[in-house]
Structure 1
Amino acid sequence: MRSVLITGAGSGIGLQLARDYAADGWRVVACGRDRSRLEQALEGVEAELCLFDMENREQTVRVLGAQAELDLVILNAGSCEYIDDALHFDAALFERVIRTNLIGTANCMAPLLARIKRGGRLALVGSSVTWLPLPRAEAYGASKAGLDYLARSLALDLSHRRIGVSLVRPGFVDTPLTRKNDFPMPGRISVQQASHAIRRGLSRGRAEIGFPFGFVLALRLLSWLPRGLWLWLTRRTPRSTT
């Protein structure tokens, strides 16, 4: 039986991945901070619960260090907050997002990398936002850009152990996190569609998994615009704030 560990398995993409991998006969280790939330979300799903706060390095290393060997690790947990007033930059908000999305991911990797089997795979869930700078995304975008570089660098250093590294770059997915957004989300897809795209990409050993295709293509094309033109366009885009 193949095994997969998934962080952020209590909701959104992580929850759907846990459900789908369990349905496919995998041994699923579903990670989160809140036992009752995990139990409720995964009711009826054959999964092992793994409880820890990934921002607590000591706890994370202790709990994940007890895991058996794994075929696949998907580090999916993360958060999103926006900088609404760049002139009065919120350093505390920036630190929160970086601590969760980047440092928290590193805390998980520390005990887990040595537990991935030869021929296994590590997947980091980043974001398509890193294709080009977007308004209010200083904290979120910086954290996900860090994951981009982290994934590419790890791919080099883990290749001699035959551990593959995949960077997952979703567009907008209908999750509890994105439902808090106060702006239009073009190309938004369901968690079922996101899970299908991720699992298909991982099964094919893809180094980068971006979806949905049309949205990602549009971002890539826009990223080729001259910097000044993109700045001019964003100045004329209404900004919604809460």
Structure 2
Amino acid sequence: MKQVLITGATSGIGRSLALHYARNGFSVTACGRNEARLSELCNHHDNLKSLAFDITDSEQVIEASSTLEAFDIVILNAGDCEYIDNAANFDGALFKRVIGVNLLAMGDLLEHLIGKIRRGGQLVFVSSSVTYLPLPRAEAYGASKAGIDYLAKTLAIDLAPENIAVTLVQPGFIKTPLTDKNDFSMPFLLTAEQAAQRIYVGVEKRKKILDFPKRFTYLLRLLACMPFSWWCWLLTRKNK
């Protein structure tokens, strides 16, 4: 039975991924901070087990990883989203918090989990399509996800000699507890279950970059081709 580890499995995409992989015969290690939610999740399938720890706590990462053996797939999905509502009164604590969860925590996870991935296995990063274009209020979230994109792409090069494939996932808007807080329109919104299905198929195909839904990401790519000054004008005009 193939082994998969998933961080951020207590809700949203991570939870749906854990259930999807379990239904497809994988032995799933579901990771998160909330032990009660993890226990409820693991009640759904016998091949689901939980591992509770905080990815931002180095000591907890070391302790949790020491109990692990080998995996065919490691999916780094855990993350958070907070917005900078007033850039002129920049919230440095918020910025540090989001970067810490979404990007800096990757350092400890990678240090202690890459060695657990079998040769021929896969490392998966769940990023965001926000990195295609700079968006209002997304200074912290967008910067953290842009860092993940670069990290994943460089690891795809450097881990190739180890026969470890890297997949970078860049989803559009997905209905999760995080996006439920958004107070703006979210075009082409998908459910967490739809996202999990697409990620599962893309990882099976060992895609290097997996973005969806295509009609949304193609639109973002098209907009990204315009001069940056035009994009700034368009957004500032819209927000007046």
Identify the TM-score tier after normalising by the shorter chain: over 0.9
- Note the 1:7-86 alignment, pairs <5 A: 7-46=7-46, 47-86=48-87
- CA shift for structure 1 position 105: 2.0
Alpha-carbon contact 1:11-1:41 (below 8 Å) kept: no
Task: Using the TM superposition, give the Cα deviation of residue 72 of structure 1 relative to its aligned residue in structure 2, in angstroms.
Answer: 0.0
RMSD of aligned Cα (Å):
1.1
Question: Could you say which residue in structure 2 is the equivalent of 1:220?
Answer: 221
Q: Secondary structure at the match of 1:29?
A: strand
Query: Matches of 1:91 and 1:231 in 2, distance apart?
Result: 23
Q: How far apart are residue 172 of structure 1 and its match?
A: 0.2
1:18 alignment partner AA = A
List gaps (5 residues or longer) in structure 2: none
**Does the alignment pair 1:180 with 2:181?**
yes
The Cα of 1:118 is off from its aligned counterpart by: 0.2
Q: Deviations for 1:55-85, whole angstroms, at most 9, x for unmatched residues?
A: 0012102211321100000000000000011
C-alpha distance in structure 1 between counterparts of 2:230 and 2:196, whole Å: 35
Unaligned runs of 5+ in 1: none
Shift of 1:38: 1.3
Q: For each residue in 1:78-112, what CA deviation from the matched residue of structure 2 results, as whole angstroms up to 9, or x when unmatched? A: 00000011111110000000000001222211110
Letter paired with 2:152: A
**Which letter maps to 1:215?**
F
| Equivalences for residues 84-233 of structure 1 within 5 A | 84-233=85-234
Q: Amino acid of the residue matched to residue 145 of structure 1?
A: A
Runs of 4+ aligned residues of structure 1 deviating over 4 Å after TM superposition are none
- Helix, strand or coil at the partner of 1:236: helix
State the one-letter code of the partner of 1:203: E
88-97 or 61-70, larger mean C-alpha shift: 61-70
Kept in 1: contact 2:42–2:49 (CA 8 A): no
Aligned sequence identity (%): 49
Superposed CA offset, 1:157-198 (max 9, x none): 111110001100010001111000011101100111101110
Structure 1 contact 71–120 (Cα < 8 Å) conserved: yes
For the 8 Å contact 1:2–1:27, the answer to whether it is kept is: yes
Instruction: Report if aligned partners of 1:82, 1:140 keep a CA contact under 8 Å in 2.
Output: yes
Q: State which drifts further: 34-43 or 11-20.
A: 34-43
Conserved? CA contact 1:65–1:112, under 8 Å? no
Does the CA contact (< 8 Å) of 2:42 and 2:50 recur in 1? no
Structure 1 letter corresponding to 2:138: A
Look up the equivalent residue of 1:109 and give its one-letter code.
Answer: L
Taking structure 2 as the reference length, the TM-score comes to 0.97
Displacement, 1:42? Answer: 3.9
Contact 1:61 1:110 in 2 (8 A): no
Tell me whether 39-48 or 103-112 shows the greater mean CA deviation: 39-48
Give how far 1:11 is off.
0.4
Corresponding residue pairs, total: 239
**Distance apart, 1:44 and its partner CA:** 1.6
What is the CA distance between 1:237 and its match in structure 2? 2.5
